[in-house]
Amino acid sequence: MWVGIYLVVQLAIKFALISMVSHGEAANHQALEQMLAEVGPVGLFLLAAMFAPLAEETIFRFALFNGVRICVSFVMRLVAPVERARAIGAWTGIVVSAFLFAAAHQETQFALFLSHFVMGIAAAHLYYKTGRFAAPVALHMSNNALAFIPMLFG
């Protein structure tokens, strides 16, 4: 249920941001077109909608978010109550991992960068709230699969 709610909200924000971009393409669009020619639609779908989200979520949510969350929470416990320290650690981890996730996608237009940043926040917050790594992976896979469809048929 949470994945569905996050996916709808994240996609609504994403489409609103992308509609603000009047010209240009996503930074990785040409690379995806080239990969489509090389590996075909099934291969590209597996890479873009299955393997890339799993790898990215492992790096940005499982490793980075957790690392920042734990380190900041530990340090903040020196000056704040435990619950406050945990909350500060979680939100710091969410923002840092989302920012680095967006930066890793190398978008040159701010609206596209912001779209990836929102996706990063949604995935990290979902992971934090559910405590399950499968939740942001499912969100990311769904997002990429839906983004992939127009490329095949558009």
Q: What is the pLDDT of residues 73-127, one digit of tens each?
A: 999 999 999 999 999 999 999 999 999 999 999 888 898 899 899 999 999 999 9
DSSP 62: I
Separation CA 154–CA 151 (nearest Å): 5
How much helix, strand and coil, in percent to the nearest 5, is found in the chain?
A: 85, 0, 15
User: Tokens standing for 55?
Assistant: 């790898």
- Entry pTM: 0.83
Q: What is the pLDDT of residues 63-79, one digit of tens each?
A: 999 999 999 999 999 99
CA angle, residues 109, 115, 121, in degrees to nearest 5: 135
